[in-house]
Amino acid sequence: MEITKVLPDDCISLIISLTSPRDACRMALLSHAFNSIADSNAVWQMFLPLDYIHIISNSSSPPSLLSLPKKDLYFTLCYHPILTHNGDMKFQLEKENGKKWYMVGARALSIQWVDTPRHWTWISLPDSRFCRVAKLKNVGRLEIKGKVKLNTLSSNTNYEAYFVFKLVRDRYGFRHTPMELDVSIEGTAAREVRSVILDPPRNMPQQAKERADGWLEIEMGEFFNGFENDRTVEFSLREDHDDQPKRGLIVQGIELRPKHKHNR
Amino acid sequence: MYMILSLPGTDILTPWAFSKHLEYTWTRAAILTQFVQAGSESSPCELDQRTPLLSSHGSLCTQSFGGTYSGHSNATSPKNMGHGDHVVDQVARSLYVGYRNNATMDPAWFAAVETICMLNGCAMIHEALDTQIMKSYIWLQTVDGSIQQVEQEIAMFCPMICHEVIQKGMGSSKNYAISLPQQVNPAVLSLILDYCRFHQVPGRSNKERKSFDEKFIRMDTKRLCELTSAADSLQLKPLVDLTSRALARIIEGKAPEEIREIFHLPDDLTEEEKLEPLKNATDDPRIRLLNRLYAKKRKELKEREKLKNVEVDEELVDDRSVDDLLSFINGDDGDSKGIKTSKSKRKNRRRKDLLKSTSAHEATKNHNKESNGLNSVCRSAEVGQILPGVDATTNLQDVEDDIFPNKNEFDDGDIDDEIDPTLKEKIDREVEDFARRLNSDWPERMQEILSLGQEKKPVHLSLNGKGS
């Protein structure tokens, strides 16, 4: 009994779409029949987020993206993030499961004193997808906040929030003073608070990790996006105790990544 | 005016189906339209003749044409005329009898139907006829010719059967049994009916249903596939979803070889097809590069095929002489670890090791490209032999990374790209030469290539024992 003779193509599509993108890629290698089904739009459409058309139409990307075969579109979105929300957010897909992955750019964050040239300046860096990132010139108290509506993200998913930044050579204020990181879902008890040092001396453990794109990231916290997601998740990074001058931090944004599962 | 209702045959519909048919065909709007039309065409007094009369005894009858279709109640008050009143029962029943007795051409009959529909709604007729003691059965015929009867509420859970009954009036007797699709054999039908029997009961909790479902799908894969196919042909979507999910759970995370075994699939993609160039509408330079890599790998595969065919018999002998040669060349380092060329079965793994060991000579990026490229070759060459395990998984994972270009590897290596492809082309050309000139002078040829290789391409063969 060969399965392709027993089951109609759309049943096989349904079965493949209930596995994972990785499995679907493997299944394209099984046999001729599976090759065309596993690569079909019917399957890959199921891996794309439900509102992918809406997201792409409201992004800065050309609408011709939508005319790609769905498998190509899926991987284009995995490897080539697009800018959405008027250039304020960067969107891509998590390759393993097609979940949404956003970075809230510095422009969309509420950074205290960011519009005062004496304290912060907007610069353009080639290794950031955003037009501009915020560079800290001098503040005494640091406060960076952001919020995202939960219905923007994939439901039924665990997300991790990361603060994405760089430190320039002449920086100060981050070596010994801990920053308070806070991730909470407004209106619920879900909240995570951490205290980290962004720029510890060499003999101390580094909490920030280097990213593939050359920036640093530090985990702010985790949250779970359930099904009833009309709430907002809020993040903040704060240092407002010691009033010492701080300088030399470049903020790209806060990234919300689906947490990677290693089972299944 | 009376032709709205068209009924199939006269003795085909069961009472239940008849009422369903009425419900389906008639709507209040249709009835009202009729009455409006009647109003415009006829005189008011005709209309009056059609309105039902409520006698003081609480009986409903249609005045026109002698009130043939009527029902009586013993209730003294007209107020007892209401939802589910047994007078409606009687009228409904008499309507059905009229239908069975070929009364459908009788205007009086139609008038009665119209009246009761308008007064009480078709659903009432349905309810009235449905509450008859006699249970209705639907007749089904499976692909092997056997016919069986099934309780209507269970069978009607399947949309396809439902459609046959309502739209075409089939299934009410043995002669008019509904022919089920060929995917439904008696064994599978019995499973499907079990499913329907459980789920059509409205009062069950979600937990109960879920628990039933989990037990229900415990069957072998072959049966699951048959069940999916049958449920699909009967348009029973909840069951299709359930079985599909079960099948998805079975195949996810498995290597292609395992899946082929489970589903008895032929491995009918050629190695070439497995390395098929990626179609890329956006003309991404990374994809273009990857396709070039694939093309080279395909060529290499062809060479390897040719080489394999020729030297199969001499393999053992060859290895030894290669070892001898190389230890001679190396001045007795004796380390034959990295020596084997593209001949042995483990060749791909070795080449990967070799390249890794010579990464000091090349830019790291080149190394990444090579090893990933080779992994894809590994995959294609060994895909028939992959066993579940760490190695296989890493290979496949590497491959997936390879198929979908990693930004790092291709991002800023444009300068390097100029160098590497030419070098690779040189290597390819040499392999081709080698293949062409291959004859029974295998050891001599080998020596030739090795000495050539030592000068030109340390990349391919790690001739220095220190290279590892």
Q: Is B467 on the interface with A (CB under 8 A)?
A: no
Phi and psi, residue B140, nearest 5°? -125, 145
Report percent pLDDT > 90 for chain A: 54
The residues, ordered by sequence, that sit 6+ positions from B215 with a Cβ below 8 Å of its Cβ are none
User: Is A71 contained in some domain?
Assistant: no
* Distance of alpha carbon B307 from alpha carbon B301, whole angstroms: 10
Chain A residues whose CB is inside 8 A of the B229 CB are 6-8, 11
Of A6, A31, A264, the CB nearest to B225: A6
Residues A37 and A115 in one domain: no
d(CA B247, CA B180) in angstroms, rounded, equals 24
Paired tokens of A188 = 């619920």
What's the gap in Å between the CA of B152 and the closest CA on chain A? 27
SS3 B47: helix
In a domain, A57, yes or no: no
Which residues 112-151 of chain B have a CB within 8 Å of chain A?
none
Name A195's bridge partners. Answer: A180
CB-CB contact of B442 with B325 (8 Å):
no
Return the C-alpha torsion angle B142, B143, B144, B147, nearest 10: 20
User: What pLDDT score was predicted for residue B325?
Assistant: 62
Number of Cα atoms under 13 Å in the Cβ half of residue A123 = 16
Contact B294, B272 (CB under 8 A): no
- Cα dihedral value B104, B107, B109, B110, nearest 10: 80
Q: Inspect the interface and report whether the beta carbons of B225 and A7 lie closer than 8 Å.
A: yes
Of A6, A25, A67, the CB nearest to B229: A6
Comparing A120-129, A154-163, A183-192, B376-385, the range with the smallest average pLDDT is B376-385
Residues of B in contact with A26 (CB under 8 A): 255-256, 259, 396
Q: Mapping DSSP to helix (H, G, I), strand (E, B) and coil, where does residue A202 land?
A: coil
Could you write out the DSSP letters of every residue in B258-285? HHHHHHT----S-HHHHTPPPP-TT--H
Q: How many domains is chain A built from?
A: 2
In a domain, A88, yes or no: no
Low-confidence residues in chain B, pLDDT < 50: 1-5, 10-11, 27-85, 131-134, 280-282, 313-319, 332-419, 440, 455-468
pLDDT attached to residue A190 = 86
Chain B residues whose beta carbon lies within 8 Å of the beta carbon of residue A16: 248
The position carrying tokens 């596993």 is A38
- Taking the C-alpha atoms of residue A5 and residue B385, their distance in angstroms, rounded to an integer, is 25
pLDDT of residue B441: 57
Residues 277-316 on B with a CB inside 8 Å of A are: 279-282
Residue B233's pLDDT is 93
Q: Tell me how far apart the alpha carbons of residues B465 and B333 are, in angstroms, rounded to a whole number.
A: 7
Cα B275 off chain centre by: 26
Side-chain half-sphere of B266: how many Cα atoms within 13 Å?
Answer: 7
Instruction: Say yes or no: A2 contacts chain B, CB-CB below 8 A.
Output: yes
- The pLDDT value recorded for residue B302 is 79
**Whether the Cβ atoms of residue B367 and residue B359 lie closer than 8 Å to each other:** yes
pLDDT at A4 over 50: yes
The three-class DSSP label of residue A120 is strand
Q: Is A125 on the interface with B (CB under 8 A)?
A: no
Q: Does A66 touch chain B (CB under 8 A)?
A: no
Chain A positions touching B269 (Cβ under 8 A) are: 29-32, 35
Phi, psi of A260 (to 5 degrees): -80, 125
Whether residue A139 sits in one domain with residue A36: no
Give chain A's end-to-end CA distance (angstroms, integer): 28
* Domain containing residue A167: CATH number: 2.60.120.260
Distance (Å, whole) CA B114 – CA B14: 20
| CB atoms closer than 10 angstroms to residue B174 | 10
Residues A201 and A125 grouped into a single domain = yes
Q: How far apart are CA B39 and CA B29, in angstroms?
A: 15
B400 and A78: CB-CB below 8 Å? no
A189-212 pLDDT, tens per residue?
A: 889 999 999 988 888 888 889 998
Residue labelled with tokens 């439902």: B162
Of the candidates A6, A27, A72, which has its C-beta nearest B280's C-beta? A72
For the cut 90, the answer to whether the pLDDT of residue A13 exceeds it is yes
Q: How confident is residue A52, by pLDDT bands cut at 50, 70 and 90?
A: very high
**In terms of pLDDT, which residue wins out, A65 or B15?**
A65
For testing the chain B interface, which of A10, A31, A68 should be mutated: the one with the most B CBs within 10 Å? A31
Nearest-by-Cβ selection for B263 from A2, A26, A72: A2
Listed range (A41-50, A114-123, B443-452) with the worst mean pLDDT? B443-452
* Bridge partners, A40 (sequence order): none
Interface check A9 vs B, CB under 8 A: no
Helical H segments across B312-441, by residue range: 315-329, 347-357, 364-382, 390-403, 407-411, 414-437
**Taking CB atoms and an 8 Å limit, are B245 and A18 in contact across chains?**
yes
Count interface pairs A-B at CB distance under 8 A. Answer: 100
Cβ-Cβ contacts under 8 Å, B254 against chain A: 23
Q: What is this model's ipTM?
A: 0.81
The answer for A214, left when phi > 0, alpha when psi is -120 to 50, beta otherwise, is: left
Domain with A205 in it: 101-258
Comparing A219-223, A251-255, B379-383, which segment has the lowest mean pLDDT? B379-383
By the 8 A CB rule, do B250 and B262 touch? yes
**Cα–chain-centroid distance for residue A116?**
28
In chain B, what residues touch A31 (CB-CB under 8 Å)?
260, 265-269
Band (pLDDT 50/70/90 cuts) for residue A160 is very high
Q: According to DSSP H, which parts of B62-106 are helical? A: 86-100
The answer to whether A69 contacts B281, with C-beta atoms less than 8 Å apart, is: yes
Residue A223 shares a structural domain with residue A110: yes
8 Å CB contact between A44 and A24: yes
Task: Read off the DSSP letter of residue A205.
Answer: P
- Tally of CB atoms within 10 A around B375: 21
Does residue A93 belong to any structural domain of this protein? no
A110 and A11 both lie in a single domain: no
**Is A59 a domain residue?**
no
Per the DSSP assignment, residues forming a β-bridge with A250 are A135, A166
Q: CA–CA separation, B322 vs B450, rounded Å?
A: 9
Spatial separation of the C-alpha atoms in residues B112 and B88, rounded to whole Å? 11
User: How many other C-beta atoms can be found within 10 angstroms of the C-beta atom of residue B423?
Assistant: 14
Architecture of the structural domain at B131-263: 2-Layer Sandwich (3.30)
Virtual CA dihedral for B31, B33, B35, B39, nearest 10 degrees?
180
Walk across the sheet containing B60-62 and list its strands: B52-54, B60-62, B70-71
What is the three-class DSSP state of A210?
A: strand
A10, A11, A23 member nearest B251 (Cβ): A23
Instruction: Report the C-alpha gap between A93 and B343 in whole angstroms.
Output: 42
**Domain boundaries of chain B, sorted by first residue:** 131-263, 273-312
Taking CB atoms and an 8 Å cutoff, what residues of chain B touch A264? 252-253
Does the residue A222 lie in any domain? yes
Instruction: Let me know if residue A214 belongs to a domain.
Output: yes
Considering the domain architecture, whether residues A18 and A125 belong to the same structural domain is answered as: no
Give first-to-last CA distance, chain B, whole Å: 96
Mutation target to probe the B interface, by most B beta carbons within 10 A, among A29, A36, A43, A71 is A29
* Residue B171 touches chain A, beta carbons under 8 Å: no
Distance (Å, rounded) from C-alpha B2 to C-alpha B107? 7
Measured CA to CA, the distance from residue A250 to residue A252 in angstroms comes to 7
